[in-house]
Amino acid sequence: MDPILKSLSAENELGKDVKFVSMNVDKDPLIANEIGVQGIPTFLIMKDGKMVSGMVGAKPKKLFKEEIEKYLNK
C-alpha cells in the first residue's frame, strides 16, 4: 500500500492540506489500541483532530482518493 499512498501524496491532487502519516503498530501498540486498530493495514481519515472514516485492508488508489475527497472542504 505504501506506493499508492506515496503516489497520492506526491501528486498533490488532493491539496496541500492533506497529509499522509504512517505508524508501525508493532512499535506503538498502545497508540494502535487507543485508536482501535484491529487489522493491518488500517487507514484512518482524520479531520480537525477527529476520525471521520476508516478502512481496513488493501484498497485501490481510486478508492483512497474518493474516500479522502468526501471530507475535503466540508
Cα–Cα distance between 50 and 44 in angstroms, integer?
A: 10
Strand duo 50-56 + 42-47: pairing = antiparallel
pLDDT of residue 56: 93
> CA 28, CA 42: separation in Å to the nearest integer?
14
| Predicted pLDDT at 74 | 59
In which band, very low, low, confident or very high, does the pLDDT at 63 lie, cut at 50, 70 and 90? very high
Q: Which of 1-5, 29-33, 61-65 is the least confident region? A: 1-5
In 12-52, where does DSSP find H-type helix? 29-34
Q: Where are the domains of the chain?
A: 2-69
Place 22 in a pLDDT band, splitting at 50, 70 and 90.
Answer: confident
Scan for cell 475535503, then name that residue: 72
The fold of the 2-69 domain, in CATH, is Glutaredoxin (3.40.30)
Q: Alpha-carbon distance 6 to 74, whole Å?
A: 24
